[in-house]
Amino acid sequence: MFLKRIELNGFKSFCNKKEIIINKGITGVVGPNGSGKSNIADAMRWVLGEQSSKNLRGTSMQDVIFNGTQTRSKKGYCEVALIFDNSDMRIKSEYTEIAVRRKMYRSGESEYSINNTNCRLKDILELFRDTGIGREGYSIIGQGKIDEILTSKATDRRKVFEEAAGIMKYRVRKEEAERNLRKTNDNITRIDDIISELSSQIEPLEKQMNEARDYLTLRDRLKELEINLYLYQYDRTGERIAKTEEQVRENEQEFQDLTEQIALENAHVLEIKKQLSRLQDEIEEQNVRLGEQMSEQERLKGSLNLLAEKENTNQHAMQENYEKRDAYEEQIAESEQKLRELNVQISEKNTAIDEKYAEILALRVRIKEVTGKSGDAQEGIDSVRAEVESARTALQTMLLDLNEKQVKAEVLSQKKEQAQAEIDRHNAHVLQLRQTIESLKREAMECDRQSADLRSAMNEAAQTIRVLQDERTQAEKKVADTARRLSEDESRLKLLNDMRDEYEGYFDSVRSLFKAAKNAPDISRKIKGVLAELVDVPKKYETPIEVILGNALQNVVVENDTDAKDIISFLRQNNLGRVTFLPTKSLKVRTLQKEEKSFLNMDGVECVASEAISCSDAVRPAVDFLLSRTVIVRDMDSAIALMRKTDYAFRAVTMDGDFIKPGGVITGGSLKKNNTGLLSRKRMAQELAENVAGNRKLLAEWNAALGECVKKSEAAQRLQHETLQKLREQEIRTAEAKQKFQTAQDTFISNEQVTADLTDRLTEAVTDCEQMEAATEALKKDTVQAQADFEALRLRQEEAEARAAGVAAQTSAIKDSLSAQELQQSELTNEKNILLREAEHLRVLIAQAKDGLGRLQQNSDALSEEMKELTHSKAELRGQLDGILERIRQAGEEARGKLALRDEWNVQAEETAGRVEALNTQKDLLIEQKYKFIASREKLEISRENYQNKLWEDYGLTYANALPFLKKDFAYQASVREIDEIRERIREMGAVNPNAIEDYTRVRERYDNLVLQREDLTAAGNDLQIVINGLLSGMKESFREKFAMINENFQKTFHDLFGGGYAQLELGEGDIMECGVEIIAEPPGKKLQNIGLLSGGEKALTAIALLFAMLNINPSPICLLDEIDAPLDDANVIRFSEYLQTLSKELQFIVITHRKPSMAICDTLYGIAMQEKGVSDIVSVEL
């Protein structure tokens, strides 16, 4: 077996996970001081179970976890593992490789595991027992261990030798056996004490057991008889209850039939009301529609009137158009006649101008002939003259064009002025129309607003009517519901009062007493009342109070014992039965003691039962007597906790009715849920009285509210009718205003279109004028330039003529004639131009007249088309009006039919309501009868429940559990007599311990068992002593033998390491298993002396010699030497190294060292360095 590797993760300075492979032979670990070499030794010691942080060079165990550096954060855990090769099976295990691992978290939690299976530290210690491996063994040797071996006491030093001798496992077994033996002896002592105590109890318990058997025989017979008696009474009462329940069922069936009939009638009433409501809505809607139709009728009439008015307006407009057309046609005819006359005149002028032009040409030919002989001068004159003539002609043409354009400009100016005047007239008319439209618009909007207000008022009135109708229906329902509840509560209250007056639910004797006391004033004065009637209990405490008091609620309260004695005599004289009395002045009240009251502050404690009850001072002693030592608690857990604390000194009752009696008897389970208890009956009567008063007041309030709803509904209907009339009138006014507004709007749009057309014409005329003016100005400029050119040419002509003076004389006459003709021609031309201008003016007038005539025709056509549309619209409106009138007639007939139907349904509703009222009266009688049946049944159920309670309270049996005890041949009278006899015999027996049989059996069985246990323990103790003696004998023999071998080897290794000298081990005096071990050493050259007198190096070498001697006897699979060669000088280090090398052939060593000789013998060398501050790193070298 050998160590294969060491794994470290987060242990001390080894931050990162590291793995150190351990080969056979010697593995060296070197490095500078502070690099973390010794942390490897600490890791081995820690994983093997070291628990002392001081031995690991720390202050707490968390110090072994990497604590971080300036550049690294601290780790949350550390882990170390040793992996062993177990091929030789030195450790008895099924594994050939064993991994021992320890992991620790910064929280302090530590885990151990073997081969990744969690285990205990004890398992690891047991695994390596007697192998030398362990935190206390000799597998890890440091300088501190060397000093401990040499300097510790001789007895403390013994542990190392026992480990080497291989007897540690036997010592552990022996110590465990001794502990078990001590425990066994202690148990025997305790059993002896208990046996002695039990033997003194057996004889008295046996006597009590015999008495208890007799008592139990009587009690069982009594139980059998009483159970049969209770079952008999329970069954008889059950039969009476069944008969009463049959009566209740018949009543309920009849009630159900009535309820269904009432429901059908109510449904019929509701359906009629729904139909009435729907019919009323239809009538209102019919009225609204009728109003709308009448408004539509008025609107149509107004529209027809407006159409007629508009038709009349259009006819007047068409008549005006006809008159304008005649004027235009007359103007066109006159203008065309004048134009024809002017055309004749222009034609005549053209003829005259042509004649003059022919004459002028003839004269010019003559002049040419006369002047043709003048040579070049004459040619020049002719040339200039031709140019002058051309210029004159051009000038005349320009003048004619200028005149024509001036005439056109005048005509366009007139058209512009006419268009502007017509636009101004239309703008004035449009402005007037716009003002009219705004006025009509405001009038229409005001009408719309008033109509909307009236319509909103109508809707509000309708909504108010619906709300009031709903309120009325709700009020009627509330009145009916309240009346029904009032009737039910009054019936139940009457029933409860009758039960109270008749003392229903009380014992016959109590009821008989109070009935008889009414006729005996002396007795009546002495009775204060029944306890249940004299106290008030909060509702939440009713259940625990009723359960704990039980029949005591029917106790009769009197002032003193004398009164009680007198009433008892009265009962006996009148044979009225037996009654329990509470004489308040004679009662001895026991309250809770001071120390008992201190427990009332416990969780779950409600209060003392007597403090939960309200009563008069005269009754208070009776309440305190019964309940001052009873505590109300929340639940059974609280009750048990309280009673345990107080040693079951008083009673505790839970809110659910379970209770614990003094001494520890517990009663509990389910309770029948009913409201028939005496306390709850009194509370219910008070609540019903309050409910009756409240319902009466509420009924009056709802009746008043119903009357108010009727008044408001009638007022709202009147308001709705008035508003409807106003709305109809307003809608007529609104229709008329809207029609006037629409007509004005149409007229305004038509005028706007005419204005737009006129504006377009004006714009066109202005454009034409501007263009004509521009053309005229340009022509004027051209004319001026042409006149200048003409004047220049004429001057040239005059110069030429001056040069041809001779020719002029010849041609003078001809020229004069030519000038005269040209002048005449010019005059004719001017006259023609004037005629042309007049003709053009006439043509413009004709065009304007025709244009106006076309517009009149368009307007007439539009008016004709509009007249057709008006005629068609009138026909449509008349058709709509006829339809409206027909619908109004039909709506009126339909409304009259619906009103008649409404009256018929109202009659049906009243008749049905009368039937419902009669049925409700019959239903109230059934309710009263039902409550009487229920009261009778409840009374019987109370009796039956009392029998059942007696079964439970006396014998802890339910009815079902008691049935097996039932005897078919049960005789009622005989059983009653036998019950009295048995009770008398039990009374004569006095106090009997019913638990004596069980106590005796239990004590006897325990006594016998303890005797057997003592015998078993005695035998076990003897066996343990034999084991201890055997272990002790084997340990002594083994230790003696191995100690001699260690001593012999020690002498040899000492001699080898020191190179001579002598050493010896000696056992101290006394028991070989307890004595100490002395070490004697005599180095060469020194006298034999105690080891304490040696030098440091000699001590170290002596301890090393002892270590090697132990390894030779019981080799450890791995041995770690942590700088044990540090105190040795060089010569001793060499001898140490040589000897270590010799041992390494058989053993595996890890050597942490600084010394070179030690390094030299290593087979593998690991260097530990801190390349990063605070973090150790490993470098390995194989040598």
Give binding residues as ranges.
32-39
Which amino acid is located at 924 in the chain?
Answer: D
CB 228 within 8 A of CB 966: yes
Tokens encoding 524: 């009546």
CB 1118 within 8 A of CB 1150: yes
Q: What H or E segment, with its residue span, contains residue 105?
A: strand 97-105
CA atoms within 13 A on the CB side of 895: 16
Q: Residue 152's closest CA among 806, 1093, 1078?
A: 1078
CA atoms within 13 A on the CB side of 1108: 27
DSSP line for 868-896: HHHHHHHHHHHHHHHHHHHHHHHHHHHHH
Residue 585 CA to residue 571 CA, distance in Å, equals 22
CA distances from 935 to 371, 504, 941 (A): 170, 8, 10
Give the end-to-end CA distance of the chain in Å, rounded to a whole number: 23
Return the DSSP state at 1003. Answer: H
Q: Residue 570's closest CA among 584, 554, 551, 556?
A: 556
Specify the pairing of strand 26-30 against strand 1149-1152. parallel
DSSP line for 1114-1167: S--S-EEEESTTTTS-HHHHHHHHHHHHHHTTTS-EEEE---HHHHHT-SEEEE
Which parts are annotated binding residues for ATP? 32-39
Q: Residue 584's closest CA among 552, 612, 551, 624?
A: 624
b/e per residue 522-552 (b: at least 16 CB within 10 A): ebeebbbebbbbbbebeeebbbbbbbbbeee
The Cα diameter of the chain in Å comes to: 208
Residue 235 CA to residue 241 CA, distance in Å, equals 10
CB 402 within 8 A of CB 780: yes
Return the DSSP state at 1083. Answer: -
Residue 104 CA to residue 84 CA, distance in Å, equals 21
Residue 663 CA to residue 686 CA, distance in Å, equals 39
Q: Residue 90's closest CA among 124, 129, 117, 125?
A: 129
CA distances from 279 to 273, 546, 714 (A): 9, 60, 17
Residue 922 CA to residue 854 CA, distance in Å, equals 97
Tokens encoding 473: 């229906």
CA atoms within 13 A on the CB side of 623: 22
CA atoms within 13 A on the CB side of 993: 13
Describe the chain by its helix, strand, coil percentages, rounded to 5: 70, 10, 20
Nearest-Å Rg of the Cα atoms of the chain is 72
- Apex CA 781: angle with CA 775 and CA 784, to 5°? 140
- Apex CA 563: angle with CA 562 and CA 567, to 5°? 120
Residue 555 backbone phi and psi in degrees, to 5: -65, 145
Specify the pairing of strand 26-30 against strand 1164-1172. parallel
Residue 273 CA to residue 1111 CA, distance in Å, equals 117
